[in-house]
Structure 1
Amino acid sequence: MQRYILKRTGSLILSLLVASLVIFTVIEIVPGDPASFMLGINAQPETLAALRAELGLDASKVGRYFAWVGGMLTGDFGTSYTYRTPVTEMVADRIGVSIPLALYALVLSVLIALPAGLYAASRRGQAGDLGVLGATQMGVAIPNFWFAMMLVLVFAIHWRWFPAGGFPGWEQGFWACVQALTLPAIALALPQAAILTRVMRSALLEVLGEDFMRTARAKGLSARQTLWRHGLRNAMIPVLTIVGLQFSFLFAGTIIIEQVFYLPGLGRLIFQSISARDLIVVESVVMLIVFGVILINFLVDLAYAAVDPRLRNRT
C-alpha cells in the first residue's frame, strides 16, 4: 500500500507541474496586454511602461512563472490587476458559493441516480428499463445550460418558486441560500445523474450474473432481497468511484451555470477576469480548480485501492 501511495503522490505532483506549465503558457499566449486594456488604446508609451512595471509584466516569462508558482506554494496567489486586491481574498469570498453548489449538485445527482439505476436493473429489458435508458440518453445529450434556462422559465418566471438568479449571502440565512442554489444545482445534477444511472445499472447487471447471487436465490431469498442485501453492496465500488470523479467535474464545471444564474462563485470570477484581461486572477483560480480536481482524483484512487486489494497489488 505504501508503494501505491508513493506512486500516486508522484503522479499528483507531476500532474500539478504539467498543469501549471500548460495554464501559464496558454494564458500568456492569449492576445492582448492587460496594461493596454486597462489604460486604453490612447495611452502614452511612458504611462504604459510604468503600469507594466507596477504589475510586474516587464519581467521575463520564465521569471514570472517561477514567481507565480513560488507564491502559490506559500499561499500567495498574487494581486488582481483590475481590483488591486489579493487574489486569495477574492477566492475566499467566492469559494463559499462554488463548493456548496458542487456538493448540492452531487447530492441531487446521487439521490436521482441510485434509485433510477436500481429500478432499471431490476426490470432489465422491460418498459421501465427502456424508459430510464431513454431519459438518461436525453440527460447526457442535452447541455446543462439549456436545462438551466428551462428551469428558470418554469420554476422562477412562471411558478416563481425559486429566484431566477443572484445569491443573498450566507449571512442572510441558510434556507435563503439553499433556495438560491437549488435551480443551479439541479441544472448541474441532471446530466451527471444520467451518467451515474447508467453506471449503476451496468454495475448491478454485472453483479446479478455472479454465482453468489444465484446461490442467494437458491437459499430462498426473493429477487428483491437478493438485490438489496448482496447486489447493491457489491455494485457500489465502481459507483462510488464515479461519484468522486463527478464531484471534481462539478467543482470545475460551474463556469457556465454561475454565469447563467449570476452566482458570485469561482466560475463567474474566471469569466469576469478573462473579460478584463486580469491574467493573474485567471491563472491562479484555474490552477486552484485544477489542484482541487487532481486532489479529488488522488483521494478517489486511494479509497478505491483501500476497498479493492487487487488494484494496489497490480500497481
Structure 2
Amino acid sequence: MIRYAATRLISLGLSLMAASFVIFAVVEVIPGDPAAFMLGMNASEETVAALRDELGLTGSLPARYLGWVTGMLGGDFGTSYTYRVPVSELIAARLWVSLPLALYALALSTLLALPIGMLAAARRGRATDYGIMGLTQLGIAVPNFWFAMLLVVLFAITWPIFPAGGFPGWENGAWPALKALTLPAVALALPQASILARVMRSALIETLGQDYIRTARAKGLTEGQAIRNHGMRNAMIPVLTIVGLQFSFLLAGAIIIEKVFFLPGLGLLIFQGITQRDLVVVESVVMLLVFAVILVTFLVDLAYALVDPRLRHSR
C-alpha cells in the first residue's frame, strides 16, 4: 500500500509541474496589457511602463514563471493587480464559500443517487427501473441554472423558506450560511445525482451477473441482500471515479450558479480576474483548482486500493 501511494504521489508532483507550466503559458499569451487596461486608453506610455514595473511585468517569462512557482511553494500567491491585496486573502475568503458549497452538493447527490441506483438495479427491466431512468435522464437534460431559478421562485418567493441569494458569512452563524447554500447545492446536486445513479445502476447490473452473486442467491440471500453484502463493494470503483470527477466539477465549475445566487465564490473570482486582466489572480486560482483536482484523483486512487486489494499488489 505504501509503495502504491508513493507511486501516485510522484505522479501527482509531475502532473502539478506540467500544469503550472501550461497555465502560465496560456495566461501569458492572452492578448492585452494589464497595466494599460487598468490605466485606460488615455494613459501615457511612461505611466504604463511605471505600472508594469510595479506589477512585476517587466522581467523575462522564465524569471517570472520561476518567481511565481517558488512564491506559491512558499505560500505567496502574489498581489492582485485590481484589488491590491494578497491573492491568498482573496482565495481564502472565496474558498469558504465554494468548498462548503461543493461538499454540500456532493453529499446531497451521493445520498440521493446511491439508493436510487441500487433500487433501479434491483428492479431492472420493470416499471420502477424505467421510471427512475426517465427521471435521471430528465435531471441530466435540465440546465442547472434553470432549475436554480425554479427553486428560487418556489422556495424563496412563493414559499419564503430559503434566501434567494447572497451569503451572510460564517461569522453570522452556521445555520444562516447553510440556508444560503441550500438552494445552490440542490441545483448543483440534481444533474450530478442523475449521472451517479445511472452509473451505480450500470455497475451493479454488471456485478449482479457474476458467478459469486449467483452463488450468494443460491445460498438463500435475497436480491437486496446480495446487492448490499456482495455487489456494492465490487461496483464502487466506477462510482468512486464519478464522485471524484463531480467534486472537481462542483468546486471549479459552479460559476453560473454562483452568478444566479450572488455567491462570492472561486468561480466568480476567476470570471472577474479574466474580465479585469488580473493575471496573477487567474493563474493562482486556476493552479489551486488544478491541485484540488489532482489531489482528489490521488485520494480516489487510494480508495480504489482499499476497495479492490488486487490494485495494491499490481505492478
TM range (shorter): over 0.9
| Map 1:118-133 → 2, pairs under 5 A | 118-133=118-133
Amino acid at match of 2:197: T
Amino acid at match of 1:119: L
Contact 2:216 2:226 survives alignment (8 Å): yes
Q: Secondary structure at the match of 1:124?
A: coil
Q: Which residue of 2 aligns with 1:88?
A: 88
- 1:65 correspondence with 2:65: yes
How does the TM-score come out when normalised to structure 2? 0.94
Q: Secondary structure at the match of 1:64?
A: helix
How does the TM-score come out when normalised to structure 1? 0.94
Amino acid at match of 1:8: R
CA drift at 1:112: 1.1
**Counterparts of 1:22 and 1:149 in 2: how far apart (Å)?**
36
Q: Which residue of 1 aligns with 2:294?
A: 294
**Counterparts of 1:73 and 1:174 in 2: how far apart (Å)?**
32
Q: Which residue of 2 aligns with 1:198?
A: 198
| Map 1:1-315 → 2, pairs under 5 A | 1-315=1-315
Larger deviation: 216-225 or 51-60? 216-225
Aligned residue pair count: 315
Q: Secondary structure at the match of 1:13?
A: helix
Q: Secondary structure at the match of 1:168?
A: coil
CA drift at 1:309: 2.8
CA drift at 1:2: 4.0
Larger deviation: 153-162 or 87-96? 153-162
Question: Structure 1 residues 25, 143: closer, same or farther in 2, change over 3 A?
Answer: farther
Contact 2:104 2:185 survives alignment (8 Å): yes
CA drift at 1:237: 3.7
Amino acid at match of 1:10: I
CA drift at 1:167: 0.1
Q: Secondary structure at the match of 2:59?
A: coil
Contact 2:234 2:308 survives alignment (8 Å): no
Contact 2:55 2:81 survives alignment (8 Å): yes
Contact 2:98 2:266 survives alignment (8 Å): yes
Larger deviation: 30-39 or 154-163? 154-163
Q: Unmatched 5+ residue regions in structure 2?
A: none
**Counterparts of 2:274 and 2:169 in 1: how far apart (Å)?**
24
CA drift at 1:26: 1.4
Contact 1:248 1:297 survives alignment (8 Å): no
Larger deviation: 289-298 or 243-252? 243-252
RMSD (CA atoms): 1.6
Amino acid at match of 1:63: A
**Counterparts of 2:185 and 2:71 in 1: how far apart (Å)?**
33
Amino acid at match of 1:74: G
Q: Secondary structure at the match of 2:198?
A: helix
Larger deviation: 219-228 or 91-100? 219-228
Contact 1:245 1:300 survives alignment (8 Å): no
CA drift at 1:173: 1.3
Q: Deviations for 1:141-184, whole angstroms, at most 9, x for unmatched residues?
A: 33322222222232223322221111000111111111100111
Q: Secondary structure at the match of 1:81?
A: coil
Contact 2:156 2:163 survives alignment (8 Å): yes
Identity of aligned residues (%): 69
Q: Unmatched 5+ residue regions in structure 1?
A: none
